Amino acid sequence: MIPAIEIRDLTAGYRTGQPVLKNINLTVMRNDFIAIIGPNGGGKTTLLKVILGLIKPWSGEITVEGYPIESKAVRGEIGYVPQLIPGKSFPITVMDVVLMGRLGKSDFFRHFTDADMSAAEKYLLIMGILHLSNNNMDSLSGGQKQRVLIARALAGEPDILLLDEPVASVDHETQESFFNLLAELNDSITIVLVTHDVGAVSAHVKNIACINRTLISHGEILSADAVSKVYGCPFELISHGVPHRVIGHKHRKGSSTENNSDGENSL
């Protein structure tokens, strides 16, 4: 079976300095619901940007549904839900935001069609916020904004949904209904969720990877203690009942004594 996302020996970073991500290997199978956790500054957002093609890898290879990320075939396969930045203003209506999710569906400089409108309405309904269509984004709560951004991503009808810190700005109750919703979407869509907040990882998640700059922890299932010592992944995950796969360097698979040379282990 062709994986939804396959990352091989990825090294990536910004213009200057050290690479942010080094020797990353990660396979996300279709219909997976994977949480990628790690400390702030660990490179989670950078990894999403690389998968989206916004940052070119320094080395390594990434395929989406079997195609290299530069390929046209990948366009529109991925829906992206960016991190909500508190205080950032969106002076447009909910409907306008969701319609933006349709822009990738065809050529630029065109008017939205009836099909675009009904797709936008369909996903607003699924997200339970159709009644807010004409509201200004700025008037919504954090949880409602998050739903709008997900509706926008879904309006592009992607096969894969990438979410960056999606529950950072919502309360516990909203988190739960949010994860129930993601679990429903997961019936037909592959979901990759990144978060620094271990408490935000729900039992709906099927797999977990830990990332801390030069290392994604990985591979076989390790004991909670080994995971927390070696990779800086938190012990509490185990009590969430989440299968804990730790993803690492392909050629070093089986080693559980790797040190994180970065020393940035705190979550």
Ligand X SMILES: Nc1ncnc2c1ncn2[C@@H]1O[C@H](COP(=O)(O)OP(=O)(O)O)[C@@H](O)[C@H]1O
Residue 45 binds Mg ion, judged by CB under 5 A: yes
Q: Which is nearer to Mg ion, 45 or 207 (CB)?
A: 45
How many residues in the chain?
267
Residue 44 binds ligand X, judged by CB under 6 A: yes
Q: Which stretch binds Mg ion (CB under 5 A): 44-52, 58-66, 116-124, 222-230?
A: 44-52
Residue 56 binds ligand X, judged by CB under 6 A: no
CB of residue 47 vs ligand X: minimum separation in angstroms?
7
According to CB under 6 A, which residues from 12 to 41 bind ligand X? 14, 20, 38, 40-41
Residue 265 binds ligand X, judged by CB under 6 A: no
CB of residue 38 vs ligand X: minimum separation in angstroms?
6
Residue 265 binds Mg ion, judged by CB under 5 A: no
CB of residue 190 vs ligand X: minimum separation in angstroms?
20
CB of residue 60 vs Mg ion: minimum separation in angstroms?
20
CB of residue 215 vs ligand X: minimum separation in angstroms?
13
Vertex 49: Cα angle to 48 and 55 (nearest 5): 145
Selection from ligand X, Mg ion, none that 38 binds (CB < 5 to 8 A by kind) is ligand X
The residues of the shown chain that bind Mg ion, judged by CB under 5 A, are 44-45
